[in-house]
């Protein structure tokens, strides 16, 4: 049985339509702002689906409350499916006195959940902080299905070397060539990109990344590809975090922008629900 948190309401109709069995939960707010949850039924095993985009902290607290409520109703095994995992980018101490935030969140969730499933975690190594079974699911299949026909005999690129495995996973499903850009981050808001070692002239190109935030990375990559003579430039990412105006800026720079629905946005055209229902 699936229990849907308020950060996964946008997935509920499709989950039901595809045969997912939902255990209803009431989620509201007390007048003082605190969250109230109540599960309307019981199940020995349950899977809480909760994406932890903004308001991240509220979504995380809901996960804890839902787990506690399910345990109260006799649940013995709980799984958490967290399509977008908040704090995943804070995976190291950069200034003395900072926490490793992703570790803190993983450890907390492990108190309540036996298993954790996430999509395309920024740094998959951080799953080790969850004391239990922890799985990083790949959206490569659904991204390849969405862009396969449009790409034709094109190329799949990652915006930097660290994301190469994402481009590789999509390209291998489509039997296409793949490579990556060299990306140097000059400041938090500025990145410098260098050309890839693959010929994109006259070819359609799909750039794949885990997150689009300001859109700066994708826009630079797209502009460079245009200079290199690429035909159509498509952009895909797992998580559309999107800073103010980013959707418009990226959309203007490329032929098509599509992200998955780990976070609901106007361009969340690729669904991860089929992957969730396979669990
Ligand atoms: C960085 O390591 C991530 O994988 C993304 O490339 C980054 O978050 C994209 O940020 P932006 O859209 O602001 O360039």
DSSP state, 86?
A: T
Given the CA of residue 216, which atom of ligand 1 is nearest to it?
14
Q: Is the CB of 83 under 6 A from ligand 1?
A: no
Q: Is 133 a catalytic residue?
A: no
> CA-based Rg of the chain, rounded to a whole angstrom?
20
- pLDDT reported for residue 31: 97
Binding positions for ATP? 32-34, 89-90
- pLDDT reported for residue 235: 98
Overall average pLDDT of the 212-219 stretch: 95
**Beta carbons of 27 and 55 less than 8 angstroms apart:** no
**Beta carbons of 25 and 48 less than 8 angstroms apart:** no
Give distance in angstroms: CA of 212 to centre of ligand 1.
Answer: 5
Ramachandran bin of 145, using left for φ above 0, alpha for ψ from -120 to 50, beta for the remaining angles = alpha
Using the structure block, give the residue that is written with the tokens 């109260």.
Answer: 72
Q: What is the mean pLDDT of the chain?
A: 96
Give distance in angstroms: CA of 137 to centre of ligand 1.
Answer: 19
Overall average pLDDT of the 18-39 stretch: 97
Overall pTM surpassing 0.85 (yes/no): yes
Overall average pLDDT of the 206-222 stretch: 95
Give residue-wise pLDDT tens across range 145-201: 999 999 999 999 999 998 999 999 999 999 999 999 987 778 877 777 877 889 999
Give distance in angstroms: CA of 120 to centre of ligand 1.
Answer: 13
Give distance in angstroms: CA of 68 to centre of ligand 1.
Answer: 35
Overall average pLDDT of the 245-273 stretch: 98
- pLDDT reported for residue 163: 92
Overall average pLDDT of the 104-114 stretch: 98
- pLDDT reported for residue 60: 98
Residue identifier of the C-alpha nearest atom 5 of ligand 1: 211
Q: Is the CB of 222 under 6 A from ligand 1?
A: no
Instruction: Determine whether 115 is exposed, middle or buried from the number of CB atoms within 10 Å of its CB (0-12, 13-18, 19+).
Output: middle
Phi and psi dihedrals of 204, rounded to 5?
Answer: -80, 145
- Indicate if 140-271 has the same CATH topology as 2-137: yes
Q: Is the CB of 257 under 6 A from ligand 1?
A: no
Q: Is the CB of 88 under 6 A from ligand 1?
A: no
Question: Of 147, 138, 137, whose CA–CA distance to 269 is shortest?
Answer: 147
Give residue-wise pLDDT tens across range 36-73: 999 999 999 999 999 999 999 999 999 999 999 999 99
Binding positions? 32-34, 89-90, 122, 160, 185, 209, 213-217
**Beta carbons of 214 and 166 less than 8 angstroms apart:** no
Question: Of 233, 238, 242, 270, whose CA–CA distance to 83 is shortest?
Answer: 238
Give domain limits for the chain.
2-137, 140-271
Q: Is the CB of 212 under 6 A from ligand 1?
A: yes
Identified catalytic residue from 183, 232, 269, 278 = 183
- pLDDT reported for residue 196: 83
Q: What is the DSSP string of 19-75?
A: T--B--EEEEE-TTS-EEEEESS--SEEEEE----SSHHHHHHHHHHHHHHHHHTT-
Pairing mode, if any, of strands 35-39 and 25-29?
antiparallel
Give distance in angstroms: CA of 133 to centre of ligand 1.
Answer: 28
- Bridge partner residues of 69 (DSSP): none
Exposure string of 182-201, with b = 16+ CB inside 10 Å and e = fewer, is ebeeeeeeebebeebeeebe
Pairing mode, if any, of strands 256-260 and 233-240?
parallel
Class of the domain covering 2-137 = alpha beta
- pLDDT reported for residue 190: 79
Given the CA of residue 191, which atom of ligand 1 is nearest to it?
14
Q: Is the CB of 123 under 6 A from ligand 1?
A: no
| Structural domain 140-271, CATH architecture | 3-Layer(aba) Sandwich (3.40)
- pLDDT reported for residue 151: 98
């Amino acid at each position: 049985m699936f229990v849907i948190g308020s950060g996964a309401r946008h997935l509920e109709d499709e989950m039901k339509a595809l045969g997912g069995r939902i255990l209803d939960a009431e989620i509201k707010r007390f007048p003082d702002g605190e969250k109230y949850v109540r599960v309307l039924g019981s199940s020995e095993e349950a899977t809480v689906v909760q994406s932890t985009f903004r308001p991240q902290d509220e979504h995380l607290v809901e996960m804890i409350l839902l787990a506690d409520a399910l345990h109260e109703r006799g649940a013995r095994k709980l799984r958490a499916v967290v399509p977008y995992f908040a704090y995943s980018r804070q995976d190291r101490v950069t200034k003395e006195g900072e926490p490793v935030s992703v570790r803190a969140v993983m450890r907390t969730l492990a108190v309540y959940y036996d298993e954790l499933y996430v999509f395309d975690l920024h740094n998959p190594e951080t799953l080790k902080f969850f004391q239990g079974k922890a799985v990083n699911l790949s959206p490569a299949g659904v991204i390849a299905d969405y862009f396969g026909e449009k790409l034709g005999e094109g190329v799949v690129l990652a915006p930097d070397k660290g994301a190469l495995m994402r481009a590789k996973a999509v390209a291998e499903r489509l039997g296409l060539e793949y490579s990556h850009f060299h990306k140097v981050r000059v400041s938090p808001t500025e990145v410098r990109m260098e050309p890839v070692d693959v010929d994109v002239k006259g070819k359609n190109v799909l750039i794949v990344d885990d997150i689009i935030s300001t859109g700066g990375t994708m826009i630079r990559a797209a502009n460079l590809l245009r200079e290199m003579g690429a035909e159509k430039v498509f952009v895909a990412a797992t998580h559309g975090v999107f800073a103010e105006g980013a959707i418009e800026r990226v959309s203007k720079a490329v032929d098509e922008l599509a992200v998955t629905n780990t976070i609901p946005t106007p361009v969340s055209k690729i669904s991860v629900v089929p992957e969730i229902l396979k669990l």
